[in-house]
Structure 1
Amino acid sequence: MFACFFQSAICIWSVVGAGGEMVMEEGRPGPSKPAGDRRPQQREKKEKKQDKQQPCEGFSIKAMMKNSVVRGPPPAGSVKQRPAKHTAFRKFYERGDFPIAVQHECAGNKIAWKVEIEDLDYHYFLPLFFDGLCETEFPYEFFARQGVHDLLEHGGSKILPVVPQLIIPIKNALNLRNRQVLCTTLKVIQHLVVSAEMVGEALVPYYRQILPVLNIFKHMNDVGYPGCLMKLLSCIH
């Protein structure tokens, strides 16, 4: 009996130790941790996993599940710039069909016309120069922009019959959504309206082809667009 008591005391001493601290002997397994202590950690991991939001497509069964986040629709791209294609103006210029050349001056470059502008066939040349408004590279952009203003300035009564042929080039230039081309085209339309009598009235049936693109950019504040648009609207009215 004394031997059993002595062995029990040795076991307690080996586990508790002299200082009252838990001591594990080498080769002996320590006291197991209660199962209840692991449950809070497992519960926290499970809650974190449940709180994680999962993206999904709209109008799907997964979209109605908890913690699902429906992805928004992709951008419509209404103001995204479209790639420009080579125009007929560039083709004719490279072939040398236009009677024009560059005139270098101190104040800036100008177009030197090899013939009198009043003698040109406006039904042929004016739509071609309007088609060049889509160009953004030199010298095509320079010749098209300056050539249009020169033709409108000296056209007079020749401009009004050509207005229906100018709508498609104007629409193509606006549909590029290029800020620089937009402002250039607005200034050209403004000049077109005041270039001859009844031109503004002749543009009214074509407003539905021109105004939608302008409405898309009505809140644009760069490259002087608001000023150009307001001047154009004042000229039209």
Structure 2
Amino acid sequence: MTTMWGKMYDMRAPYNVRGGEISCLRVVKGFSVESWQKDTITDCPPRAGSTRVRCPQPTLFRRCYDRGEFPIMIDHNSSGKSIRWTVQPDMLDYHHYLPLFFEGLREIEHPYAFFARQGINDMFMLGQGCDKVLPVVPHLIRPIREALNTRCPQILKVTLHALQKLIVCAPKVGEALVPYYRQLLPVLNIFKNKNVNLGDEIEYGQYKRENIGDLIQETLELMETYGGEDAFINIKYMIPTYESVILN
């Protein structure tokens, strides 16, 4: 508080000097009737928060794992940790287990994150599993979209890696994803240009394939390459800055 010409004013608030007199400005909402009144100032608009991290909700994968519903167990060997399946590959129900493992992409705690990511890789490679992936693609869209919508860099990287493996794991999978681009690409459009400019320094994230901008570019190129003739126009509609890797 300060005194000027016998009046008390709070100098921490916005103020206006007019004719030797100080008048405090009242903060009002923008585009309102009050914004046209005297001695008012419009409030700053709130941040959009498009890149703000959303806290992932508890997943069904964690609940099923805690109840012991997955036919898997951890195997410690000379090359590290891996998953040991307790059933034959041809006995796996991909319609049940694969969406649950994709649900686990939002997990960041051990051992849930390890089992979810390794389980996806194994189900793509075990036996004739790749032939069973195509009918399950519509059931994978929701967990992939929810993982991308967390905006968490760690979850984004894992989800993009899983999406790339999904596209190339079997024929026609890339084409089956085209109708769902409107659900998957909005978040990729937000983070497409998220790169680190280090000048002449070395970015080790590129070597480890952890740069989100590069991962998104790789994923979009795979979507166009394996998505058929309608893939590019659908990608361009959602991400206008994308340039075709085939036409160029």
TM-score (normalizing by structure 1): 0.74
C-alpha distance in structure 2 between counterparts of 1:48 and 1:186, whole Å? 60
Q: Please, what is the CA RMSD of the aligned residues?
A: 2.4
1:69-108 equivalent positions in 2, closer than 5 A: 69-108=41-80
The 10-residue stretch of structure 1 (203-212 or 170-179) with the greater mean CA deviation from structure 2: 170-179
Letter in 1 for 2:82: K
1:55-66 equivalent positions in 2, closer than 5 A: 55-65=27-37
Letter in 1 for 2:51: V
C-alpha distance in structure 2 between counterparts of 1:117 and 1:47, whole Å? 85
- Deviation, 1:45, is 9.4
- Give the structure 2 partner of residue 30 of structure 1: none
- The verdict on how the C-alpha distance between 1:45 and 1:64 changes in structure 2, with shifts beyond 3 A counting, is closer
Alignment length, in residue pairs? Answer: 196
- Give the structure 1 partner of residue 193 of structure 2: 219
- The verdict on how the C-alpha distance between 1:55 and 1:87 changes in structure 2, with shifts beyond 3 A counting, is same
The 10-residue stretch of structure 1 (67-76 or 52-61) with the greater mean CA deviation from structure 2: 52-61
- Give the structure 2 partner of residue 233 of structure 1: 220
Deviation track 1:79-115 (CA, whole Å, cap 9, x = no partner) reads 2222222211111111111111112245432112222
2:192–2:217 CA contact under 8 A, matched in 1: no
- Deviation, 1:62, is 4.1
Compare CA radii of gyration and give the structure with the larger one: 1
- Deviation, 1:117, is 2.7
- Give the structure 2 partner of residue 13 of structure 1: none
C-alpha distance in structure 2 between counterparts of 1:87 and 1:61, whole Å? 46
- The verdict on how the C-alpha distance between 1:177 and 1:68 changes in structure 2, with shifts beyond 3 A counting, is same
The 10-residue stretch of structure 1 (104-113 or 203-212) with the greater mean CA deviation from structure 2: 104-113
- Give the structure 2 partner of residue 19 of structure 1: none
Letter in 2 for 1:198: K
Deviation track 1:35-67 (CA, whole Å, cap 9, x = no partner) reads xxxxxx78x9963614x6553322344423455
- Deviation, 1:206, is 0.7
- Give the structure 2 partner of residue 116 of structure 1: 88
State the identity %.
46
Could you tell me which runs of 5 or more consecutive residues in structure 1 were left unpaired when the two chains were aligned: 1-40
TM-score (normalizing by structure 2): 0.71
- Give the structure 1 partner of residue 142 of structure 2: 168
- Give the structure 1 partner of residue 22 of structure 2: 49
Aligned pair partner of 2:178 in 187, 204, 224: 204
Letter in 2 for 1:88: L
The 10-residue stretch of structure 1 (80-89 or 166-175) with the greater mean CA deviation from structure 2: 80-89
C-alpha distance in structure 2 between counterparts of 1:162 and 1:45, whole Å? 70
